[in-house]
Amino acid sequence: MMHRRSSDSCSHSAALWANPGAVLRSGSAGSDSAAKEPLSTASEEYLSWLVVERRRSRNTISAYRRDLHSFESFLRHRNLMVDQAGRNDIEEFSRSLRERGMAPSSHSRTMSCIRGLYRFMLDEGFTVSDPTQYVQLPKAGMHLPKALSIKEVESLLAHPVDDTAIARRDQAILEILYATGMRVSELAGLSLGDVNRVTLDAGTAYTHAPQYARDNIVSSEYIVGSGDQHARMPSVPDHSGLEIGIAKVLGKGSKERLVPVGQAALDALDRWLDKGGRPRLEPARWKRKGDSDAIFLNARGSRITRQGIWLVIKKRAVAAGLSGKVHPHVLRHSCATHMLEGGADIRAVQEMLGHSSISTTQIYTKVSVEHLRSVYLIAHPRSRMANEHIQAIG
């Protein structure tokens, strides 16, 4: 027997979010399709469920909304409602996305969204069958993250020639992105009090990572926990009394994690927060609630956005002659790649980046083929370079 979502469930949603509709609508700002045709009730409730029950991010909801608009537009051209689509319709929609030249990752996400919609509809009584059940979803494909070399990062992070508030802010943004491997959206969401200096005690466990070209990633140690929880991690000599930075980061799915911050990044942040930096961009009156707590402000005195941070990266890349090599997460990828190349434990890097699955972090290990090759040639007993090395020291 078909049934719709109960009023108790809707009340539960309202209790968690005072106005989930506003959250969902704001996530689709700028969408032309959103202004032309409203989504079906099933699709709207699916998005609401993702926000309330699954705690999906605003960016994810925005992407899913676009996907659903595209799908429902496709069905309208076939004179079909969402609950009338069959397997052939789903497969034709998938084929149309592929023929349109959609990137494999976007294609995979869109079809996953559609499958999720029908599973939700089946559970909630909007339909009696799932037309996506036997549809083979496209694979996202292996997308290797593009990282900069250490020399290129050094060029990107070279100190600006001037000492304006904007220059201080940009330097702190770049230093923290590379030091922590944060996502751009996570950096934009940082508030005052989220980054603090702490003094290590003798009970803290570490995993060792070599020093890089600059003292940037926690003075060559990465904190992974305390006590017996991380006993599997190798320990290093006592570092009690060492002062480092710790950032509280709110990641995907509203999951909170603690990330170490290196000395170079801390110094850049101190300069930005000093009287010659952030205070100069503070407005006489804050426009929005939450702007006053933001660590990073734009030139108008509001919390900086993801797009604003991307402009900072692009501007510095042009100055460093790296304009063709950067993307919003280039410093995140570079941080992860350089740490793994330096010998950091992959589980520690996973924890630092906020990956829910180790398989996501393992992608970075595929980037360092040349590094692996050089290590093999030096270390393997049967390699020519190893034999030459043995002879040289013998």
C-beta of residue 139 within 8 angstroms of C-beta of residue 106 = no
Residue 258's DSSP bridge partners are: 248
Q: How far apart are CA 83 and CA 298, in angstroms?
A: 45
18-42 pLDDT, tens digit per residue, is 444 444 544 433 334 444 689 999 9
Catalytic residue list: 183, 252, 329, 332, 355, 364
**Percentage helix, strand, coil, to 5, in the chain?**
55, 10, 40
CATH number of 150-367: 1.10.443.10
- Of 386, 144, 354, the closest CA to residue 251 belongs to 354
Q: What is the per-residue pLDDT for 272?
A: 94
Residue 36's DSSP bridge partners are: none
Q: What is the per-residue pLDDT for 200?
A: 61
Strands 243-250 vs 256-261: parallel, antiparallel or unpaired: antiparallel
Q: How far apart are CA 388 and CA 370, in angstroms?
A: 20
What ranges do the domains of the chain cover?
7-124, 150-367
* Strand (E) or helix (H) holding 208: strand 204-208
Q: What is the per-residue pLDDT for 351?
A: 82
Q: What is the per-residue pLDDT for 228?
A: 34
Mean pLDDT, the chain cut into blocks of 10 residues (394 residues total): 38 38 43 64 95 85 95 96 95 94 90 96 93 87 74 88 91 92 91 82 40 33 33 41 78 84 90 93 89 93 93 91 86 87 81 78 63 62 55 54
Q: What SS3 class is residue 290?
A: coil
Q: What SS3 class is residue 376?
A: helix
Q: What is the per-residue pLDDT for 10?
A: 38
Q: What is the per-residue pLDDT for 218?
A: 36
Q: How far apart are CA 174 and CA 156, in angstroms?
A: 8
Q: How many CB atoms lie within 10 A of CB 313?
A: 22
Q: What SS3 class is residue 88?
A: helix
Q: What is the per-residue pLDDT for 207?
A: 34
Sign of the dihedral through C-alpha 56, 195, 333, 318: positive
Q: How far apart are CA 54 and CA 113, in angstroms?
A: 13
Sign of the dihedral through C-alpha 277, 283, 284, 287: negative
> How large is the greatest C-alpha to C-alpha distance in the chain, in angstroms?
82
DSSP state of 280: H
339-387 pLDDT, tens digit per residue, is 888 888 888 888 888 887 777 767 766 655 555 566 566 666 665 554 5
First-to-last alpha carbon distance for the chain, in angstroms, is 82
Q: What is the per-residue pLDDT for 187?
A: 93
Q: How far apart are CA 153 and CA 183, in angstroms?
A: 17
Q: How far apart are CA 185 and CA 321, in angstroms?
A: 25
